[in-house]
């Protein structure tokens, strides 16, 4: 019984060894076949030769831009920062093989610097990764996947900085469009095409941005360029709470300066404080906006209007306070002058109290005029402020 058990164990060990040897042989055969395939393909291959067997045929290159994230959209410098991958595909007629002759090998993974690659440039790119060339794939050590039909896939990971022209007239409720302009360089313009129908932008792996929403993408062709558009819409809640609401609140507060009593002495202080606050907000906004005279934000125009109204309010308050205290300033006399005047009026037989009453009457007249003028100024500022707010809202909504 023990002998049978030993023979059974030995048989199992022999079977396992045979299976492992066969598997190793299979792997070695596959590896040898792949090496033989590469040797066969690149025996007479020239990477600087057009990858078609009939020279008059054109090479069609498909582009697929995969957007992973948009870390930053800089309005000040008018640039879009993206993390993306550009996938290019084309047919290389010299990299075709019959998979049945090479143990059903359908794909090869190869370094990109040993095969033909198209010269494609993104005209809006401002980094050193603008163009794909023989030298760039060598520097980045890029790889390609080659199908047995000759279809070649080249993928390039990129952290792009795209130059865009932003229209910030509706800030902070604006929608911005950025364009990736891909073009074939002049040396291969008449031998290579960018396929518009097969090219696209993929956003399946897009990670959202906290400030911008990705609305849509599109692909078009213009002047032998392949244009890939990205449309973004700003999320306005944060800027509304931190900029628009405070500015509107300050505008309303500017109207209430005229409700303060003139004799309280706080009118000028409050008006000057509001003017300085408007000036600070204007300076902050100017630092975040591009120095562009073509598309001036309506919000900047509104803030500038409020600064002008606030400065006008300071001037008006100065005039009102001056008129209110005009006769008082003129009637101030030293005690010696009062005594002299009292002696003169007594010598003439006049009553000094009558003269004093006249002075008080004149003083009340000037104060009444100042109060009426203050009311007129208040109506002017209130009507102008309400009108400016309504116009700003209508412009943004439209």
Cα(166)–Cα(84) distance, integer angstroms: 21
**Residue pair 290/168 in contact by the 8 Å Cβ criterion:** yes
Give the per-residue pLDDT at 228: 92
Per-residue pLDDT tens listing for the chain (398 residues): 556 554 555 556 655 555 565 455 454 444 577 888 888 888 888 998 888 888 888 888 999 999 999 998 988 888 999 999 999 999 999 999 988 888 788 889 999 999 999 888 999 998 888 888 888 888 888 899 999 999 999 999 888 899 998 888 888 888 999 999 998 876 565 678 888 788 889 988 899 888 999 999 999 888 778 999 999 999 989 988 988 888 888 888 888 887 777 777 677 888 888 888 888 888 888 887 777 767 788 888 888 888 888 888 888 888 877 777 765 545 444 444 545 555 555 555 554 454 455 555 555 666 777 777 777 888 888 888 888 888 888 887 77
The predicted pLDDT at position 189 comes to 58
Q: Which of 323, 334, 335, 332 is nearest to 364 (CA)?
A: 323
Identify whether the C-beta of residue 226 lies closer than 8 Å to the C-beta of residue 63: yes
What one-character-per-residue DSSP string does 206-254 give? PBPPSSEEEEEEEEEEETTEEEEEEEEEE--HHHIIIIIHHHHHHHHHH
pLDDT of residue 29: 47
Task: At 42, give phi and psi (nearest 5°).
Answer: -100, 15
Check if the beta carbon of residue 232 is closer than 8 Å to that of residue 176. yes
- Torsion angle defined by CA atoms of residues 98, 101, 106 and 110, in that order, rounded to the nearest 10 degrees: -90
Q: Find out whether the peptide bond into 172 is cis, omega within 30 degrees of 0.
A: yes
- Whether residue 87 contacts residue 63, with contact meaning beta carbons closer than 8 Å, is answered with yes
pLDDT score for 335: 41
Q: In what order do the strands lie in the sheet with 107-111?
A: 107-111, 143-147, 151-163, 79-91, 59-74, 192-202
Closest CA to 120 of 95, 80, 156, 147: 156
Look at the pTM and tell me if it is higher than 0.75. Answer: no
């Amino acid at each position: 019984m023990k002998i049978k058990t030993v023979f059974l164990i030995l048989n199992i060990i022999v079977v396992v060894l045979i299976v492992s040897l066969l598997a190793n042989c299979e792997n070695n055969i596959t590896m040898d076949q792949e090496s033989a395939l590469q040797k066969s393909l690149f025996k007479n291959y020239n990477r600087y030769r057009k990858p078609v067997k009939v020279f008059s045929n054109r090479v069609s290159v498909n582009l697929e831009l995969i957007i992973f994230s948009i870390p930053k959209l800089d309005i000040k410098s008018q640039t879009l920062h993206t993390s993306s991958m550009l996938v290019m595909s084309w047919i290389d007629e010299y990299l075709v093989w019959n998979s049945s002759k090479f143990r059903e090998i359908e794909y090869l993974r190869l370094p990109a610097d040993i095969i033909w690659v198209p010269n494609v440039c993104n005209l809006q790119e401002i980094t050193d990764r603008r163009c794909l060339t023989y030298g760039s794939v060598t520097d980045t050590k890029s790889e390609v996947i080659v199908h047995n039909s000759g279809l070649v896939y080249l993928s390039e990971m990129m952290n792009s900085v795209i130059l865009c022209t932003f229209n910030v007239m509706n800030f902070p409720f604006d929608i911005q469009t950025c364009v990736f302009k891909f073009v074939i360089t002049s040396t291969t313009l008449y031998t290579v095409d960018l396929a518009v129908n097969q090219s696209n932008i993929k956003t399946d792996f897009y990670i959202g941005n906290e400030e911008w929403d990705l609305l849509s993408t599109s692909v078009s062709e213009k002047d032998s360029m392949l244009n890939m558009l990205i449309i973004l819409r700003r999320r306005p809640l944060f800027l509304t709470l931190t900029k628009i609401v405070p500015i509107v609140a300050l505008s309303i507060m500017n109207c209430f300066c005229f409700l303060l009593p003139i004799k309280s002495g706080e009118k000028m202080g409050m008006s000057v404080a509001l003017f300085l606050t408007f000036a600070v907000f204007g300076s902050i906004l100017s630092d975040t906006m591009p120095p562009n005279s073509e598309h001036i934000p309506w919000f900047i125009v509104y803030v500038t209007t409020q600064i002008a109204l606030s400065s006008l309010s300071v001037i008006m308050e100065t005039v009102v306070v001056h008129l209110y205290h005009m006769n008082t300033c003129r009637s101030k006399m030293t005690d010696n002058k009062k005594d002299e005047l009292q002696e003169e009026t007594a010598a003439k037989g006049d009553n000094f109290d009558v003269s004093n009453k006249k002075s008080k009457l004149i003083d009340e007249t000037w104060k009444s005029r100042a109060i009426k003028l203050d009311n007129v100024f208040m109506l002017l500022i209130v009507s102008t402020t309400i009108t400016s707010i309504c116009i700003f809202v209508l412009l943004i909504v439209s």
